[in-house]
Structure 1
């Protein structure tokens, strides 16, 4: 018989759990937080640049596809915030609860996760659309996500804003931290208006 020791049953599951725990620890670090913001923008710029390199002969159509991507992301932002982060999936809800308790914390998705998802999205779209269009649409969605993350960062870390419109925009999200069932949109209030989750103070209702 070979003298090599057999791995105990269930060791694969233990290793997987250890990897997940390591990723979870990394996700709460300052390095992951800032690297994540940088890679979100880099991936979006790479996809948009590749799209332009493949085909820049139809600027009007490209502009419409780009705006469509941002519009699609606005709903993704709302849907994830409302039905995942404040929904029934405990994994997402638990992490988002930490953010509500510590808005200046560094808890975030692993820096490699959003870029991997958006690259897979681009590949999937390329099965049904011309490559340039698929890259442009996924790049616009990725840029929407990057801007969402940056907006969230600025709202919580900038503190006070001088311009009244920017102040009001930031206040909309601060209201969400006091009324978690309202104002799910961070970059845009569009879907809150359309789906009835826009916060209206009691004084205005009367």
Structure 2
């Protein structure tokens, strides 16, 4: 398998930049702790639940999917002044680190370039999701507010866990599980440098890619030939 010099060189440079005290398991653990604690708190506040209030779950999934798509497509892959730091981290670092055929991490220290910073998880869990919840509490009901907040937080957690799975080495059990295997394949296609700015922006589920015409599929097993 041919390894492009630029990708290998960038990996070496980036790994040298990562602080020695960085621990991938601690990073992932902090994401899990914040997300599950706040989501559990929201769920435990629900009282006298009505069946109709559960309809906010698909709404929350839809909203998160739209935000996921928009932020990835128009902030992660377009150099805008307002989101320049995110663009640098995503297009500049993440896509330079994971470029075909080097699409898998080699150790948990590489999770530094896969997972979002912990402060972003905290921002979503303690501010953004509750803000959406407060709005629904005001407009509809308190239960729907708590359910919406929990749904948003758990969707973000799913994003993080799936993203780690997508970049697992070939042969890992994640790539053998139906649905996970196909989602990972879609994301790896997105990492092709000719497609990263135009296709497969959803990570959790390709809903808005399908709706907005940016969905791209290549048959499983052909990706070894589908590279720069």
Alignment: residue pair count: 176
**Residue aligned with 2:73, SS:** helix
Question: 8 Å contact 1:176–1:182 — kept in the other structure?
Answer: yes
Question: 8 Å contact 2:39–2:153 — kept in the other structure?
Answer: no
Deviation sequence 1:82-115 (CA, Å, 0-9, x none): 0110022321111112111113332343312321
- CA distance in 1 between partners of 2:202 and 2:215 (Å): 9
1:49 aligns with 2:44: no
Question: 8 Å contact 1:39–1:111 — kept in the other structure?
Answer: yes
1:99 aligns with 2:99: no
**Residue aligned with 1:182, SS:** coil
- Correspondence for 2:145 among 121, 130, 134: 134
- Correspondence for 2:79 among 78, 81, 88: 88
User: How well do the aligned residues superpose, as a CA RMSD in angstroms?
Assistant: 2.7
TM-score, normalising length: structure 1: 0.72
**Residue aligned with 1:74, SS:** helix
Cα separation, partners in 2 of 1:122 and 1:81, compared to 1, 3 Å: closer
Match of 2:168 in 1: 157
Match of 2:183 in 1: 169
TM-score, normalising length: structure 2: 0.66
Larger Rg: 1
- CA distance in 2 between partners of 1:191 and 1:28 (Å): 39
Q: Unpaired runs of 5+ in structure 2?
A: 1-16, 99-104, 219-228
Match of 2:65 in 1: 74
Cα separation, partners in 2 of 1:122 and 1:189, compared to 1, 3 Å: closer
